[in-house]
Amino acid sequence: MKVGLSVTIATVAFILLVVVIGEALILTYSHDNYSSSISDDGQLCEITSRGAHCYDVVVTAGSMDSPSAVYIYYDERYGSAHETVSVAVGARELTEESYVKQLVKTLNVRSITNVSIINAEEAAGILSGDGNGIALISLSGALPDTVYNGTSDSPVIRWIESGGRLYWAGNVLGKYIAHDNGSVTEVPNGTSLFLGSECIDSERTESYSRIDNRIGKAYSLISNDTRYSVIASKLPEGTQCLGFGFTDGLRSSSCIVSVGNGTVCIIGGDYSDYQRIDLAQIVASGLSPLTNIIDHRTGTVSGKTVTEITRGGSVYVYIGGDLTVYAELHEAV
Amino acid sequence: MLFDDSRSFLCKGIIIALAVGLAARFAIGTLLSYNYDVFSWALIISNIEAGNGLYDVTGYNYTPVWGYILGIFAQFTEVLGIDVLAERFPELIFTEAAADPIFPHLAFVTTVQFNIAVTTLIAVFDVLTGYVLYRFVCDIYGDAKKAKICAAIWLLCPFVITVGAVGGMFDCISALLTMLCIMLLVKDHEFLAGAVFSTAFLLKFFPVFLFFIFIAYIVAKHRNGDYIGRMVKAALGFGIMALIILAPQIAAGQLGDCFSFITSRVTTSTTVIGDIEHYAAPIAYVLILILEIFIAYRFLKTDHKNLDRSFVWSSFIGILILFIYPSTPTYVLLLTPFLIMTAFVTDRRFRTPMYILMVGTTIFSLSSNAMSLTSITMYTDLLPFDTWMQIYTWFDTRVMGMTVANLMAYIGGTIQYAGILIALYHAFKTLLTVKEECGYNGIHQ
Which tens digit of pLDDT belongs to each residue from B144-182?
A: 999 999 999 999 999 999 999 999 999 999 999 999 999
Q: Which residue of B has its CA nearest to A55?
A: B83
Residue B115 lies in a domain: yes
Which chain B residues are within 8 Å of A1, Cβ to Cβ? 139
Residue B5 lies in a domain: no
- Model pLDDT, residue A327: 98
Residue (of B364, B358, B366) closest to B423 by Cα position: B358
CB contact under 8 A, B260 and A16: no
Substitution target from A2, A6, A9, A12 for chain B, most B beta carbons within 10 A? A12
Substitution target from A1, A2, A6, A15 for chain B, most B beta carbons within 10 A? A15
Residue (of B211, B251, B257) closest to B64 by Cα position: B257
The residue segments making up the domain with residue B409 are 30-378+399-439
Residue B12 lies in a domain: no
CA dihedral sign, ordered B287, B293, B298, B304: positive
- Model pLDDT, residue B440: 45
CB contact under 8 A, A29 and B83: no
Q: Burial, B314: exposed, middle or buried (Cβ in 10 Å; 0-12, 13-18, 19+)? A: buried
Q: Which residue of B has its CA nearest to A98?
A: B57
Could you list the beta-strand ranges (E) of B294-436: 398-399, 402-403
Residue B333 lies in a domain: yes
Which chain A residues are within 8 Å of B57, Cβ to Cβ? 102, 105-106, 273
Substitution target from A11, A86, A104, A301 for chain B, most B beta carbons within 10 A? A11
Question: How many structural domains are present in chain B?
Answer: 1
The answer, for A10 touching chain B at a CB cutoff of 8 Å, is no
CB contact under 8 A, B88 and A5: no
Under a CB-based contact definition with an 8 Å cutoff, are residues B41 and A323 in contact?
no
pLDDT in tens, A258-272: 999 999 999 999 999
User: What single letter denotes the amino acid at residue B242?
Assistant: A
- Domains of chain A from N-terminus onward: 33-63+293-333 (2.60.40), 66-290 (3.40.50.880)
Phi, psi of A319 (to 5 degrees): -120, 135
Q: Which residue of A has its CA nearest to B70?
A: A22
Q: How far is A204 from chain B (nearest CA, A)?
A: 12
Question: Which residues does chain B have with pLDDT short of 50?
Answer: 267-270, 437-445
Name the residue facing B72 among A18, A87, A93 (closest C-beta).
Answer: A18
Under a CB-based contact definition with an 8 Å cutoff, are residues A190 and A156 in contact?
no
CB contact under 8 A, A92 and B58: yes
Interfacial A residues in 278-297 facing B (CB < 8 Å):
none
d(CA B206, CA B327): 11
Between the CA of residue B34 and those of B176, B236, B370, what are the distances in Å?
23, 40, 9
Which chain A residues are within 8 Å of B187, Cβ to Cβ? 5, 8
d(CA B349, CA A311): 76
| Degrees to nearest 5, angle at CA A39 with A36 and A43 | 105
Under a CB-based contact definition with an 8 Å cutoff, are residues A164 and A155 in contact?
no
- At A56, the pLDDT band (50, 70, 90 cuts) reads very high
CB contact under 8 A, A16 and B184: no
Q: Which residue of B has its CA nearest to A245?
A: B90
Residue (of A151, A131, A147) closest to A264 by Cα position: A131
CB contact under 8 A, B264 and A92: yes
CB contact under 8 A, A89 and B90: no
CB contact under 8 A, A102 and B104: no
Q: How far is B290 from chain A (nearest CA, A)?
A: 24
Between the CA of residue A164 and those of A73, A132, A243, B263, B342, what are the distances in Å?
14, 5, 19, 41, 70
Interfacial A residues in 89-148 facing B (CB < 8 Å):
89-94, 102, 105-106, 108-109
Phi, psi of A180 (to 5 degrees): -75, 0
Substitution target from B8, B39, B45, B52 for chain A, most A beta carbons within 10 A? B52
CB contact under 8 A, A11 and B128: yes
Q: How far is B420 from chain A (nearest CA, A)?
A: 24
CB contact under 8 A, B83 and A326: no
Name the residue facing A92 among B81, B139, B257 (closest C-beta).
Answer: B257
SS3 state at A143: strand
Percent of chain A scoring above 90 in pLDDT: 90
Residue A97 has pLDDT above 90, yes or no: yes
The answer, for A23 touching chain B at a CB cutoff of 8 Å, is yes
DSSP at A302: E
Interfacial A residues in 30-89 facing B (CB < 8 Å):
30-31, 33, 50-54, 86-89
Q: How far is B173 from chain A (nearest CA, A)?
A: 9
DSSP at B147: H
Residue B340 lies in a domain: yes
CB contact under 8 A, A9 and B192: yes
Substitution target from B7, B8, B38, B83 for chain A, most A beta carbons within 10 A? B83
d(CA B187, CA B189): 6
The answer, for A324 touching chain B at a CB cutoff of 8 Å, is yes
Instruction: Give strand pairing partners of A34.
Output: A49
Name the residue facing B72 among A22, A33, A206 (closest C-beta).
Answer: A22
CB contact under 8 A, A12 and B81: no
pLDDT in tens, A214-258: 999 999 999 999 999 999 999 999 999 999 999 999 999 999 999
Report, as an integer, the average pLDDT of A116-139. 97
Residue B107 lies in a domain: yes
Name the residue facing B65 among A1, A19, A322 (closest C-beta).
Answer: A19
Residue B25 lies in a domain: no
- Model pLDDT, residue A80: 95
CB contact under 8 A, B260 and A21: no
CB contact under 8 A, B84 and A54: yes
d(CA B175, CA B332): 10
Beta strand A292-308 with A176-178: parallel, antiparallel or unpaired?
A: unpaired
Q: How far is A321 from chain B (nearest CA, A)?
A: 7
- Model pLDDT, residue A1: 47
Q: Which residue of A has its CA nearest to B264?
A: A90
Name the residue facing A109 among B50, B81, B101 (closest C-beta).
Answer: B50
Name the residue facing B50 among A19, A91, A325 (closest C-beta).
Answer: A325
d(CA A219, CA A221): 6
CB contact under 8 A, B71 and A206: no
CB contact under 8 A, A23 and B54: no
For residues B225, B229, B233, B239, the Cα torsion angle rounded to the nearest 10 degrees is 140
DSSP at B209: G
Q: How far is B87 from chain A (nearest CA, A)?
A: 6
Name the residue facing B42 among A7, A87, A323 (closest C-beta).
Answer: A323
